A and B are shown apart, each in its own frame.
Chain A
Amino acid sequence: MAGSTTSPPGRKTPRFGLGADGTSSPLMLMVKIVGLSLVAAVAVWAALPLIRTDNWWGLAILVGVTALAFYVYLSPRTVPMKYLLPGTLFLIAFQVVPVVYTVSTAFTNFGDGHRGTKEQAITAIEGASVKQVPDSEIYTLTLATDGDAATGDIVFLLGEPSTGDSYVGTADGLEPLEEGSFEAATPGGKITAADDYTVLTVEEVNARQDDITAFSVPTDDGAIKSQGLSAAFEGAPQQSYDEECDCVTDATTGNVWVADDEEGSFVSEDGSQRNLAQGWKVNVGFDNFTRIFTDDTIRDSLLRIVAWNFAFAILTVVITFALGLLVAIALNNPLMRGRTLYRSFIILPYAMPAVAMYLVWREMFNQDFGLVNRILGTDINWFGTTPSSMFAILLIQLWLGYNYMFLVITGALQSIPSDLVEAAGVDGAKPFYAFRTITFPLLLVALAPLLITSFAFNFNNFAAIFLTSRGGPFPPDNPDAGGTDILITYTYRIAFGGSGADYGFAAAVSVLIFLIVATVSIVSFRRTQVLEEIN
């Protein structure tokens, strides 16, 4: 049977082409032609911007993928691939590539202050140290971008009041604006609109404050920097890079910082100054991983977090399973009336939007206004201490999860042959004994894969923590690792938290999480022999 599925017996092996896999009806041929034309059309549409921006690597990949699609759908030998190709392409583009990228980031120091190349770091350092040259020109400034307000590159639209000229300043330098391509209040005054550029509103300026502060327009004498939101000045850099010594020197103080290519930073030559804030991205090997296990603060909080992470995931599975089992057995009673009604209401939480319900629960546990405190007549700050916070989180998890367990256990109970239990009853076994020795083991075997999946899901259940306790309460000495943090919320805080992004380290912890979950899952799947059954 295997291998013979591509063509019916007695037919010649078809050749390459539209009817290659036996497609013969006019309708199906039409569908195929339309489908492949769409692929071609999308490819052409996608190619245009790539050509415009000279992105030849991107274009090569695009051409390759399109050719592959045509080959797969026109060849008679690639039948399994015809069904796998769309999903695989999406999987590679939006899951595999980001994962590979993340893993490679784990071996770098990528993060705030270490984003770009060394050249970019030097430009930024020189640009940031620009001080106004005496008697230099003050320009009127309009902030704009060359594209979308939120993502386009910042540009300065500049007017020079003394001469009446107008310029556009980009990261490449200063260029005069053509007459008629812009609107200004007066010659050399504030520019209100310009072709090809989007003038930013006050809100948009606020959103991009950091980009604007870091931006400068290089000129012959130094650079143009913004001064507030509507003026810019030309100035000369105080700190400049010298290729000879591979170092940065401060003209006023005479301090020298030498480039350290291992660390990706400019390090003070005599050790008297701190490293320059702006560094560049370098490969740091296993440094991030060593840091996890050797840095005292990180190691201590990490041990605690890992322990709670396991407890959280295991307890969630255990309590939801236990309550689901109890309710499923109670309702699996053929004599009982109104079972459908009970069932519909009991599983209702499973159908509710979880994000909203986490937030509702959080507010029910609110100390001042919450329903829980009002009903109990207490004044407990539920998310204020670690034990009460853990209790609240687990209760919420129970509410959100036991319905699902109830559903699947009910299904599994009905699929266990009733004659087994009846036979045990005939042999004199008491109901509980029969349940413990026959029904329960069969249930566990049937549901083991689901329980493992549930564990793996809850191990990384970001929303359950982030939307309720936010990982808190936080000990005063370590605001980065809260009492109910699990690895993934902890990592999120390192990567995006207030105290500066450290993507490299966050990526290393992600890899660690992946290893833990993968190991636990593979070991338990092996034990339940699910993997052995792939046939």
Chain B
Amino acid sequence: MAHTTSESAVQAATGSQPPELVRHGSAKGGWFRRTGFSHLVGILALAFSIFPILFVVSASLNPVGTLSSSTLLPREVSLANYQTLFDGSFPRWFLNSLIIASLAAGISMLISACAAYSFSRFRFRGRRTGLMSLLLVQMFPQFLAIVAIYLIFAEITELWPAVGFNTSAGLILLYLGGALGVNTWLMKGFFDTIPKDLDESAKMDGATHFQVFSGIILPLVAPILAITGLLGFIGAINEFLIAIIFLREDESKTAAVGLYGLIADPLTKNANFGEFSAGAVILAVPTVALFMYLQRYIVGGLTAGAVKG
């Protein structure tokens, strides 16, 4: 409606009095031109974004708990699926996921912040080579090295069972191998934007390099720390390919591995779908919460890294 009136108004106007009324975005341009188009696109995008999520939530509340009876909007609401889920191994899996993801994300955030500080603030032999190698190593699809990783960890399990297969500690160590590659470039770009004068003046006052790092730089790069922490957390909670080979015992599984197991068998997946959906919803809670909490950093952080390369 608004669209047609505004267009015909413009056409009529251009017909009779051309110079005056070709004003884009003016009050006379009409509601659609000003914000209607934005709302239309916004609503369509919103619908596209949330309908699968709506479906999972609805399936998780479906008392029958099968795929074939799940609908987009719940017809009946019951917490039966959550009940079944929590009576099983899920609490243990969920706890494993939280421990592994927060430790792996936190430690790799620190490791890559240290490395980024080094690459951004010091000039040393092998610096350029180091940065380039980081970029190259990343391009090797890591899980194709999984046979090698498996053989290495088979050896480690023999020698040090505390960090071997079926342990959270071992999986965290393995994830830390990727700490440098993923985030150092993003962080270095951000570190480079902080004026070196700050470091220099602190050094004049007798600060050591570590005091400069922890007292001046780290507080200033809080947004990028939040980003890498969040991305690391989401990445680790989602990691599945290595985890499924690494964690075989039911007790040691992460939620992603455990949930995959619920609907892996084609014969039982229809029946288990409600339970699976309940697990997916619960697994989403920590990431979505973190995401909402850190949202203000995210846009700035991602693009700062992007623009600076």
Contact = CB atoms under 8 A, between A and B. Distances in A.
B281 to A, nearest CB: 9
Interface residues of B, number: 118
B232 to A, nearest CB: 13
13 contacts: A79-B122, A84-B118, A87-B112, A87-B115, A91-B181, A151-B154, A151-B157, A333-B38, A342-B46, A353-B287, A355-B240, A412-B306, A521-B139
Given A80-B127, A94-B176, A491-B144, 12 more contacts: A83-B117, A84-B114, A90-B176, A91-B137, A93-B177, A94-B173, A98-B146, A330-B38, A351-B292, A353-B234, A371-B71, A510-B141
A94 B174 contact: yes
B74 interface: no
Interface stretch (B1-9, B78-86, B200-208): B200-208
B49 A411 contact: no
A363 B269 contact: yes
Contacts of A360: 52, 55-56, 277, 280
Interface string B178-210: 111100100000000000100110011011111
A351 B204 CA distance: 44
Q: Would you call the interface of chain A mostly helix, strand, loop, or mixed?
A: helix
B89 to A, nearest CB: 16
A84 B158 CA distance: 30
Contacts of A403: 49
A342 B49 CA distance: 10
Contact of A90 (B173, B269, B276, B309): B173
B144 A513 contact: yes
Contacts of B147: 102, 105, 495, 503, 506-507
A477 to B, nearest CB: 24
A514 B140 contact: yes
Contact of A371 (B70, B127, B140, B234): B70
A46 B144 CA distance: 28
B209 A359 contact: no
Contact of A349 (B53, B142, B210): B53
Nearest to A509: B144
Contacts of B37: 330
Interface string A445-479: 01101100000100010110000000000000000
B48 A96 contact: no
Contacts of B270: 369
A120 interface: no
B215 to A, nearest CB: 12
A407 interface: yes
A503 B150 CA distance: 12
Contacts of A534: 128, 131
B72 interface: yes
B237 interface: yes
Contact of B165 (A8, A151, A460, A531): A151
Interface in B244-288: 248-249, 256, 259-260, 263, 269-270, 273, 276-277, 279-280, 283-284, 287-288
A447 B283 contact: no
Interface residues of A, number: 115
A49 B159 contact: yes
A407 B144 contact: no
B248 to A, nearest CB: 6
A363 B273 contact: yes
A1 B196 CA distance: 10
Interface in A382-436: 399, 403, 406-408, 410-412, 414-415, 431
Nearest to A50: B159
A327 B40 CA distance: 10
B241 A408 contact: no
Contacts of B279: 356
A533 interface: yes
Nearest to B279: A356
Interface in A320-371: 323, 326-327, 330-331, 333, 335-337, 339, 342, 344-357, 359-361, 363-364, 366, 368-371
Contacts of A80: 118, 122, 124, 127
A314 B74 CA distance: 37
A352 B287 contact: yes
Contact of B53 (A23, A98, A352): A352
A488 B177 contact: no
A352 B280 CA distance: 9
B252 to A, nearest CB: 11
Q: What 7 A-B pairs come out closest when comparing CB atoms?
A: A94-B177, A411-B303, A330-B41, A98-B145, A356-B280, A369-B68, A83-B118
B28 interface: no
Contacts of A83: 114-115, 117-118, 213
Given A8-B206, A344-B292, A346-B45, A533 B154 contact: no
Contact of B145 (A99, A348, A410): A99
Nearest to B230: A351
B34 interface: yes
A147 interface: yes
A408 B304 CA distance: 9
A6 interface: yes
Contacts of A327: 41-42, 45
B178 A371 contact: no
Contact of B307 (A339, A415, A460): A415
A68 to B, nearest CB: 15
B103 interface: no
B256 A355 contact: yes
Nearest to B145: A98
B59 to A, nearest CB: 8
A86 B279 CA distance: 35
Contacts of A53: 158-159
B292 A95 contact: no
A346 B38 CA distance: 13
B137 A95 contact: yes
